[in-house]
Structures are given as structure tokens and as C-alpha cells.
């Protein structure tokens, strides 16, 4: 893929790398359940295969495989503010499909290069030095997810992923040609289909850019529909900073006319709190940046 990003630079992502991960993802999800469950995630090892995820307490119609880009990745052991314990996330790879690991690691490296270019463009667009945001990404917690949405006999009763906003910095999404991703249009609240364009990536601004930019950028609500005939695959890359990142509106962007719209929060604890809802149904709403809105 080639993309022109303003006058700044020309990015080139090898199409073969994308084809490789798409093929490996199809092969992985086509494996028998017992094989996939050998790399199942659980509360101790929260990355790997999973087929019972909930978004906002509702079960999604999908199977996923998650891995981190930096191996190992360090995150807090729990969402409890006083718990200082950290854990190392170690990727799990299916032994019967060695191609998957290679394809995933290559794709991760390509996505990371693109993510840094985009980050620099965003910094420049906010009137900041181009490397202003780079410092948060040493020991980053970025991850990639392989999404598989099987055909659904009752597509009007289920969603592949329920409505949500991505909590991180940027999401770079590769979707296949089936279609199903919808974004909520701000002016009228209508859900609008993001039409698949082959060999292109969808760039989604996440909640952290909304907070850093003090709402100059907004993260968009989105969801994934399912359909009764076709299976669908997508591959989001979630670009996330180090767990210790304190997220708040950037000092340079706020002043008496534009006061900070958010209180600060710790990314690692936010992420741990968000992930809690993946393993059990919670009685409370999952953590959102609106909880830090001033």
C-alpha cells in the first residue's frame, strides 16, 4: 500500500505482509476448537485466543486472537490504584501453525512504523514539535487483534463488536471486503458503514488523542455488524503507550481560554480496569474517559 500523508512523507507498506497475516488468520480460525483453545487466554495470561468476549456486558459474536507487539509487555497486575504489582504479558503461539507468529511479527513491525508517522503528523497538526508524543511509547503496550466474525443465523439480534470507542492512541484497522464496520455520525447519531476499500487501512483516533488534544480530536464510537451468509475478518493494531503514562490534556494546549477538559489518569490502570469487563459481567459500566471529564 502507498499512502500520501500531506507533504510530509510517503509511506509504503508491503502488500505481501498484509496478505500473509490475512491468510495466517484465516488458517488459525479454521483450526478445530481444541487446537485454538491450546492458546486460550485467561486472567493470568490475558492474550491469546478467546471466543466469549463481552463489550459493555453483552457477548460479542466473534472469536479473537490477541498478541502484543513488544514482547514481553509490562502492565499493572490489577486495576486497584494501590496495587503496585506489575505483570509481564507473554505471547502465546499455536505450535501447529508456525507461519502465524512470523506473519504477526512482521505485520506488527510495519504497523509500528506507520503508527509513529501518524503520531508525528498529529503532533504537528496540534502545533507541537513532531516528536512531542514519542516519549510515551518506550515500553509501549500496543497490541494486535485478529478478529473473526462467523456467519450469524440471527444477525439482527447480535453484533460482532458492540458500540465502543477505542481507549488507546490510534487504531490502524485492516478489514476484508465483506463490510460490517459502522461509525456513529456525530450530527445525527446515524450509524454509517465504513465501506471496505481493498489494500487500505482505516485510521481511528482513540480516546487518548481526544484527552491529549483537549478535544481538538475526538474518538469516534463504532461497532461491527455481522451477517448471515459471510464470515468476516479484521485486524486492528492498537497503538498504546507505556503503562506508566499519565494521560491528561497537553500543557502546551491549555490556557485560561481553553482550560483542561479532563483530569489526568494512569493508562495502565485504565487499561486494567477496562479489561476486567472482558472476563466477567460487571454490575457497573466499564471505565470510560467521560469519567475523567471535568
Ligand X SMILES: O=C(O)CCC(=O)C(=O)O
Indicate the residue whose CB is closest to Fe ion: 166
To the nearest whole angstrom, how small is the minimum distance from the Cβ of residue 106 to ligand X?
A: 20
207 makes contact with Fe ion (CB under 5 A)? no
Q: Under a CB-based contact definition with an 8 Å cutoff, are residues 62 and 153 in contact?
A: no
CB 181 to ligand X: min, Å:
3
> Looking at beta carbons only, is 50 or 262 nearer to ligand X?
50
Least Cβ distance, residue 164 to Fe ion (angstroms): 6
Is residue 213 involved in binding ligand X (CB under 6 A)? no
Per CB under 5 A, which of residues 157..186 are in contact with Fe ion? Answer: 166
Phi and psi torsions of 120, nearest 5°: -70, -40
Q: How near is the Cβ of 7 to ligand X at its closest, in Å? A: 30
Partner whose footprint covers residue 286, from Fe ion, ligand X, none (CB < 5 to 8 Å by kind): none
Q: How far apart are CA 62 and CA 38, in angstroms?
A: 18
Residue 181 interaction partner, one of ligand X, Fe ion, none, beta carbon < 5-8 Å per kind: ligand X
- Of the pair 126, 169, the CB lying nearest Fe ion is at 169
169-198 binders of ligand X (CB under 6 A): 173, 175, 181
**Given its phi and psi angles, is residue 56 left (phi above 0), alpha (psi -120 to 50 degrees) or beta?**
left
Q: Which does 214 bind (CB under 5 to 8 A by kind): ligand X, Fe ion, none?
A: none
Site for ligand X in 111-170 (CB under 6 A): 145, 147, 161, 166
Minimum gap (Å) between residue 166 Cβ and Fe ion: 4
Pick from ligand X, Fe ion, none: which does 147 bind, CB < 5 to 8 A by kind?
ligand X
Which residues of this chain interact with Fe ion, rule CB under 5 A? 166
Q: Which residues bind ligand X (CB under 6 A)?
A: 145, 147, 161, 166, 173, 175, 181, 222, 224, 234, 236
Amino acid at each position: 500500500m502507498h499512502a500520501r500523508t500531506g507533504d510530509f512523507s510517503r509511506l509504503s507498506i508491503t502488500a505481501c505482509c498484509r496478505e500473509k497475516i490475512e491468510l495466517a488468520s484465516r488458517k488459525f480460525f479454521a483450526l478445530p476448537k481444541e487446537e485454538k483453545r491450546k492458546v486460550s487466554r485467561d486472567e493470568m495470561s490475558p492474550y491469546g485466543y478467546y471466543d466469549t468476549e463481552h463489550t459493555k456486558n453483552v457477548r460479542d459474536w466473534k472469536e479473537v486472537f490477541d498478541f502484543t507487539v513488544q514482547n514481553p509487555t509490562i502492565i499493572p497486575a490489577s486495576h486497584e490504584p494501590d496495587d503496585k504489582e506489575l505483570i509481564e504479558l507473554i505471547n502465546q503461539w499455536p505450535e501447529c501453525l508456525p507461519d502465524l507468529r512470523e506473519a504477526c511479527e512482521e505485520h506488527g513491525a510495519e504497523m509500528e512504523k506507520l503508527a509513529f508517522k501518524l503520531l508525528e503528523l498529529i503532533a504537528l497538526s496540534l502545533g507541537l514539535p513532531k516528536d512531542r508524543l514519542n516519549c510515551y511509547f518506550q515500553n509501549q503496550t500496543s497490541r494486535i487483534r485478529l478478529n473473526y466474525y462467523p456467519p450469524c443465523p440471527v444477525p439482527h439480534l447480535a453484533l460482532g463488536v458492540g458500540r465502543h470507542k477505542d481507549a488507546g492512541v490510534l487504531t490502524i484497522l485492516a478489514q476484508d471486503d465483506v463490510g460490517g464496520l459502522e461509525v456513529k455520525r456525530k450530527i445525527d447519531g446515524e450509524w454509517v458503514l465504513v465501506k471496505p476499500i481493498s489494500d487500505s487501512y482505516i485510521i481511528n483516533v482513540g480516546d487518548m488523542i481526544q484527552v491529549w488534544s483537549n478535544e481538538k480530536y475526538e474518538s469516534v464510537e463504532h461497532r461491527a455488524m455481522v451477517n448471515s451468509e459471510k464470515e468476516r475478518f479484521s485486524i486492528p493494531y492498537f497503538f498504546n503507550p507505556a503503562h506508566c503514562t499519565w494521560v491528561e490534556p497537553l500543557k502546551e494546549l491549555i490556557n485560561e481560554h481553553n482550560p483542561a477538559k479532563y483530569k489526568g489518569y494512569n493508562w495502565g490502570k485504565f487499561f486494567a480496569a477496562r479489561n476486567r469487563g472482558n472476563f466477567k459481567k460487571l454490575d457497573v459500566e466499564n471505565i470510560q474517559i467521560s469519567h475523567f471529564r471535568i
